[in-house]
């Protein structure tokens, strides 16, 4: 079957993936991880919530940590272009039997829309956010990897085709995908969906879901920064989850770490531009190990299968998951085709 095609005039205008809201058990331990090791900037903090951002970000936050009894992903956030898009989005979700509730969230404009996507992932749509001075030239304050900006998140979902179709209907384009044979003729196992002009905003992967596999920040001078971060992690008592190496999918250099609650964060080099409409999605076969790691060892089954549940959301098992088709040991090498 053909890949879902992008709706050129979506019912409301999502501009980018913008932030993640995480529930954490020990707020002080999480702050130490994200501020001292990762190097995010704390914009605001109290006894119950911490707002953080990258050093190049002018908007108030891209990561929110909330004190909770259990670790979970509370929401993933998207920006829309204007306030009217929130009203249009509420109508669109309600017409499809999905929840749509306007709530007041600090620092996020007049109102925020809470809803869920076709996979059951809890979303937060925002039209405006308070701004603060960028820390782009405050070099004397940089910590850890000093991430530049939020880039994307990856979700585990039970039905990749269904979820991809929903996002395509909202104006997202598929930059790359995984199927059994690298063509749309076999079941879709993963899709990279773009909105802001690079390869990634939301990645959808077949596995038990909805769950948050990881969220990502772009870093500068990636090879040196990742090696230095590995040294810093060791000195501070943390360990590396996977990497550093390079994905074939997206072609970014990557490094994964997990915070005290097990939430996974990816630091990556700058993704490639994906703007021109004539560019077609690039397909990878499920048995091509280079998709996940271009030249290094494959990840563990834990990297494939372990992910963060959404607060209060039950998960569903898929008919087929990526780990079954692209797990460790499945490393058939192919000639260069990129």
Question: What phi, psi does 41 have (nearest 5°)?
Answer: -95, 130
**Do the beta carbons of residue 57 and residue 149 sit within 8 Å?**
yes
Give buried/exposed letters for 145-158 (b at 16+ CB in 10 A, else e): bbbbbbbbbbbbbb
Q: With 0-12 CB in 10 A as exposed, 13-18 as middle and 19+ as buried, what is 69? A: exposed
Q: How high is the pLDDT of residue 332? A: 43
**Do the beta carbons of residue 188 and residue 3 sit within 8 Å?**
yes
Q: With 0-12 CB in 10 A as exposed, 13-18 as middle and 19+ as buried, what is 232? A: middle
Q: Most distant CA pair in the chain: distance in Å?
A: 54
- Per-residue pLDDT reduced to its tens digit, 210-222: 999 999 999 999 9
Write the DSSP assignment of 264-278 as a string of letters.
Answer: EEEEEPPPPB---TT
Question: What phi, psi does 127 have (nearest 5°)?
Answer: -100, -30
Whole-number percent of the chain with pLDDT over 90: 90
Q: How high is the pLDDT of residue 328? A: 56
Q: How high is the pLDDT of residue 323? A: 72
Query: What is the residue-averaged pLDDT of the chain?
Result: 94
Read off the pTM.
Answer: 0.95
202 pLDDT higher than 60:
yes
The β-bridge relationship of strands 253-258 and 308-309 is unpaired
Inter-CA distances, 192 with 44, 129, 154, 176, 202, Å: 32, 26, 9, 5, 6
**Residue 27 pLDDT grade (very low, low, confident, very high; cuts 50, 70, 90):** very high
- Per-residue pLDDT reduced to its tens digit, 287-311: 898 999 999 888 999 999 999 999 9
| Cα 316 from chain centroid (whole Å) | 20
Q: How high is the pLDDT of residue 42? A: 98
224 pLDDT higher than 70:
yes
Distant-in-sequence, close-in-space partners of 175: CB < 8 Å, separation ≥ 6: 192, 193, 194, 199, 200, 250, 274, 281, 282
**Residue 205 pLDDT grade (very low, low, confident, very high; cuts 50, 70, 90):** very high
Section 175-203 average pLDDT = 95
């Amino acid at each position: 079957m053909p890949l879902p095609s992008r709706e050129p005039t979506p019912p409301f205008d999502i501009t980018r993936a913008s932030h993640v809201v995480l529930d954490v058990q020990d707020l002080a331990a999480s702050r130490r991880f994200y501020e001292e090791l990762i190097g995010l900037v704390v914009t605001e903090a109290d006894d119950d919530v911490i707002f953080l951002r990258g050093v190049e970000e002018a908007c108030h936050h891209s990561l929110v940590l909330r004190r909770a009894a259990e670790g979970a992903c509370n929401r993933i956030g998207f920006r829309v272009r204007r306030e009217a898009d929130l009203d249009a989005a509420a109508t669109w979700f309600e017409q499809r039997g999905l929840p749509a509730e306007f709530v007041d969230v600090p620092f996020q404009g007049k109102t925020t829309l809470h809803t869920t996507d076709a996979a059951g992932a809890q979303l937060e749509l925002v039209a405006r956010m308070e701004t603060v001075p960028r820390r782009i030239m405050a070099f004397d304050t940089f910590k850890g990897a000093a991430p530049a900006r939020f880039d994307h998140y990856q979700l585990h979902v039970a039905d990749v085709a269904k979820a991809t179709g929903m996002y395509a209907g909202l104006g997202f384009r598929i930059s790359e995908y995984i199927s059994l044979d690298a063509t749309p003729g076999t079941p879709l196992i993963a899709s990279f969906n773009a909105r802001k002009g690079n390869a990634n905003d939301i990645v959808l992967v077949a596995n038990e879901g909805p769950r948050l596999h990881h969220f990502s920040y772009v870093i500068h001078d990636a090879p040196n920064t990742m090696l230095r971060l590995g040294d810093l992690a060791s000195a501070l008592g943390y360990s590396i989850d996977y990497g550093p190496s390079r994905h074939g999918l997206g072609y970014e250099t990557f490094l994964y770490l997990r915070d005290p609650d097990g939430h996974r964060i990816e630091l990556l080099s700058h993704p490639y531009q994906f703007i021109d409409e004539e560019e077609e999605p690039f397909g990878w076969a499920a048995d091509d190990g280079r998709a996940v790691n271009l030249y290094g060892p494959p990840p563990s089954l834990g990297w494939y299968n372990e992910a963060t549940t959404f607060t209060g959301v039950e998960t569903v098992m898929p008919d087929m998951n990526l780990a079954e088709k692209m797990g460790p040991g499945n490393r058939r090498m192919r000639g260069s085709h990129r």
